Each structure stands twice: as C-alpha cells, then as structure tokens.
Amino acid sequence: MNVLVDTSIWSLALRRRQPSDDDPFVAEFKELLGELQVAIIGPIRQEILSGIKEQPQFEKLRERLQAFTDLPLLQADYERAAEFFNRCRSQGVQGSNTDFLICAVAERYDLAIFTTDNDFLHFAQHIPISLYTPSRS
C-alpha cells in the first residue's frame, strides 16, 4: 500500500538532529521508504522546508527530498479540498487548507495518510480518508 506521508512524519525522520529508530513512527517511515511506498506532494515539501533557519541545513534537507517526486495535483484536488473543509467545518471540525488538500489527494490516489496529527482522526469521521497505522505502534 502506498502512503501519503504528512509533514509531521517527515519532520520526525528528517528534521531532527538525531532521529530515533526507537520511535515507532520513524521506524515505520524507514520501512515504507525501503519498500518504495512513500508519496509526497508539493505543499508537504514546502512545509518540511519552511522555518529552517540555517541555510546549510535547508540545502541538505532540500537535497534529500529531491529523491522524491511530488504527486501531480489537479484543479479538482483543490475543489475537493474545499468541499472537505466545508463539510468538516459544518460539523465543528477545523483544519488547515493544506490538511484538506492532503485529504483530497489521498482520496483521489487511494492512499492512506501517515501522520501524527490528531486532527486527521477528526477529519476521518466526516470525510472519506484512510489513516495509516504503523504496524509497530
């Protein structure tokens, strides 16, 4: 199963100075990488690279991420993301535009979302997304 990996997982694995293999999310991420089951989109790439203060660290991370090709996004993905935003908001569930774009893309590509962000648990109660659960957790 291919998995759309959210910023929270990428950050655990790549942005920390010493990622821990004891972390079940990092271990699972590495396993998915080895099986070539990891997917990314441009907005996630932007979030991963945003906020890095030191240029050498930014360049190193950007270089590492260049190994991954962004899934193509369509106009329909943005429209579906807006539908998801509106549906969740009408149920009192808030989320970011990027989070709902992740949901829309995951739905279209039939991908599970791998995240530590609990907001996605709330989204899943109202929109048709699947969340990936690490086998080690």
Q: Between these two residues, 22 and 67, which has the higher pLDDT value? A: 67
Distance CA(104)–CA(109), nearest Å, equals 9
Question: Scanning the structure block, which residue is given the tokens 């690490």?
Answer: 134
* Residue of 93, 79, 97, 78 lying closest to 127 (CA atoms): 93
Instruction: Tell if the pTM clears 0.75, that is, is over it.
Output: yes
What is the per-residue pLDDT for 14?
A: 85
pLDDT (tens digit, 9 = 90+) per residue, 53-100? 999 999 999 999 999 999 999 999 999 999 999 999 999 999 999 999
Percent of the chain at pLDDT above 70? 93
Beta 3-5 vs 38-39: how paired, if at all?
parallel
Q: Which CATH superfamily is domain 3-131 in?
A: 5'-nuclease (3.40.50.1010)
List the domain boundaries for the chain: 3-131
Is the pLDDT at 129 greater than 60? The verdict is yes
Residues with Cβ within 8 Å of residue 68, at least 6 apart in sequence: 38, 40, 45
